[in-house]
Amino acid sequence: MSALSDPFLAPAPRPQPRPLSTPAFIWTAMRNPIEIWGERAYRERVLRNDWLRVPTVIVNDPATIRHCLVDNAANYAMQPLRQRVLRPMLRDGLLTAEGELWRRTRRAMAPVFTPRNVGGLAAIMATRSQAFAEALEQSEADAPRDVANEMTLLTYDILQATLFTDAIAGEPAEFARAMDDFLHRMGRIDPLDLLDAPAFLPRVGRLLGHRSTTYFRRLITETAERRRALIAADPTSAPRDLLTLLLQTEGLSASEVEDNIITFIGAGHETTARALGWTLYLLASAPIERDKVERELDEQLPGLPDPREWADALPRTRAALEEAMRLYPPAPSLNRMAIEADTVAGMEVPAGASLLVMPWLVHRHEALWERPGHFLPDRFAPENRGRIDRYQYIPFGVGPRVCIGASFALQEGVIALACLMRTLRFEYVGARPPHPVQKITVQPRGGLPMRVTRRRKSL
Ligand code: HEM
């Protein structure tokens, strides 16, 4: 690899030097679950930790990940703790549905995410990203922007333009605030959940997050009603987007349709926003890597009028995004529960045990990666990509529950980066490096204050 000379060490919590006491474990799991891990978690293939007496097996080994999430996936249901965190908001949406309802919904949504259909959305992604870059350029040059928040606005705009054809009710900034509030309050693991307390006991964080849930629900009902009316008035004039498809799926009740609208909004923009924010931060911190991306954009973009080609034709830009998702996987944790007992890599998984596949750990594992904590996009350059095992790099998960929006997100990520970085430069101006915090996604605590300046004239 060429850039091994002076690579940037990406900020991350230091592994715990010794096992945490039970109160310290609960405190840490509530505040920032990625801080619970000790050094062994970054070194061993499979570990068992019976926190709070729940047998928990953590799997870091690619072949074993394949066994659990692909070959023997039917034996691993969604973990009850994961469901308790996500279901109050997402209910029976695709991310949290199980069994027959999940299968039916997944099949119904598949046509939206075929390569052809996703490719057809590239032009809208580029137009929205370009407009966003121009607005950013014209804003006060010297005032630092919170790029984490800016990316949430951008990906929300792209999502609602592509999958909902600008039909979501409500005002984007208010929406972004409510989403932030939701992730902040609901995204935390409640100690009562860790202790497996009955569902009827109120969780304080979630009660406080109730306001954002009510807000989202109202917005979504309104959105569905408006489109239903449009379809009823003239079916041919309704856009052929995810929203129409959902409303026309047979066998989904009105509330299941709404659950999916909220699921696709939630799952479809916050994750991509985190990926973009961390990429811009890492590139700002590693000027050699930033130069490579800027050079690629300067040289290649003028000959690439069709943005549907960018994900393949801009390998350096894409590599930076992929490496950022290695270091800061937007979805850091895949949580399952063993239905029947299983044996993985010589370790017993009792029936009812939790099974954790943590992209956060797998992507930083010492046996799998050279200099795992360093930002080295060259790992993902086309000539090196083949050396990365399919089950060693899993930002989108694997198996039947793999992210349905993976190619949408990759295409969007490259297009957004290209539009932002072809004229703008982002410099990190925070007093301290950002600290990654797991609140459903991996977020930079305190945001990403960055100065945005123009590096060259518009193309
Ligand atoms: C960088 C961006 C993204 C990342 C890192 C990401 C990551 C993931 C991961 C890891 C899963 C699997 C969760 C599990 O196995 O427990 C997942 C599922 C899902 N993702 Fe994404 N995602 C991204 C973008 C998107 C987008 C753009 C959409 C929709 C437009 C989307 C919609 C979904 C849905 C609906 C599921 C549930 C699929 C199922 O269970 O069948 N995601 N995502």
- Residue-wise pLDDT for 315-339, tens only, equals 999 999 999 999 999 999 999 999 9
The domain of 106 spans 2-454
Higher pLDDT, residue 332 or 195:
332
> What pLDDT score does 3 carry?
45
Using pLDDT thresholds of 50, 70 and 90, give the confidence band for residue 96. very high
Check pocket membership of 94 for ligand 1, CB cut-off 6 A.
yes
Check pocket membership of 332 for ligand 1, CB cut-off 6 A.
no
Cα of first residue to Cα of last residue in the chain, in angstroms, is: 32
Q: What tens digit of pLDDT does each residue of 203-241 get?
A: 445 545 567 778 888 888 998 999 999 999 988 888 989
- 442 has which bridge partners? 438
Higher pLDDT, residue 80 or 383:
383
Residue 68 among known ligand-binding residues: no
Q: What tens digit of pLDDT does each residue of 396-446 get?
A: 999 999 999 999 999 999 999 999 999 999 999 999 999 999 988 999 999
> What pLDDT score does 390 carry?
97
Nearest protein CA to atom 1 of ligand 1, as residue: 272
Using pLDDT thresholds of 50, 70 and 90, give the confidence band for residue 452. very high
Using pLDDT thresholds of 50, 70 and 90, give the confidence band for residue 458. low
In the predicted structure, residue 173 carries a pLDDT above the cut 80: no
> What pLDDT score does 2 carry?
45
Among residues of the chain, what percentage have pLDDT more than 70?
Answer: 92
Higher pLDDT, residue 364 or 140:
364
* Average pLDDT estimate for 264-280: 93
Q: Which of 31-40, 193-202, 275-284, 309-318 has the lowest mean pLDDT?
A: 193-202
Tally the domains of the chain.
1
In a domain, 436, yes or no: yes
Residues, the chain = 459
In the predicted structure, residue 21 carries a pLDDT above the cut 50: yes
In a domain, 53, yes or no: yes
> What pLDDT score does 450 carry?
97
In the predicted structure, residue 187 carries a pLDDT above the cut 70: no
In a domain, 277, yes or no: yes
Distance 97 CA to ligand 1 centre (A): 13
What CATH number has the domain bearing residue 300? 1.10.630.10
Among residues of the chain, what percentage have pLDDT more than 90?
Answer: 68
* Average pLDDT estimate for 6-31: 92
In a domain, 437, yes or no: yes
Distance 309 CA to ligand 1 centre (A): 22
Distance 20 CA to ligand 1 centre (A): 31
Atom of ligand 1 nearest to the CA of 102: 41
Distance 137 CA to ligand 1 centre (A): 31
In a domain, 459, yes or no: no
Nearest protein CA to atom 39 of ligand 1, as residue: 401
> What pLDDT score does 193 carry?
55
> What pLDDT score does 200 carry?
45
In the predicted structure, residue 256 carries a pLDDT above the cut 60: yes
Using pLDDT thresholds of 50, 70 and 90, give the confidence band for residue 265. confident
Distance 402 CA to ligand 1 centre (A): 7
Name the token pair of 199.
Answer: 């569902």
> What pLDDT score does 423 carry?
94
Q: Which of 100, 403, 442 to mutate to test ligand 1, by most ligand atoms within 8 A of the CB atom?
A: 403
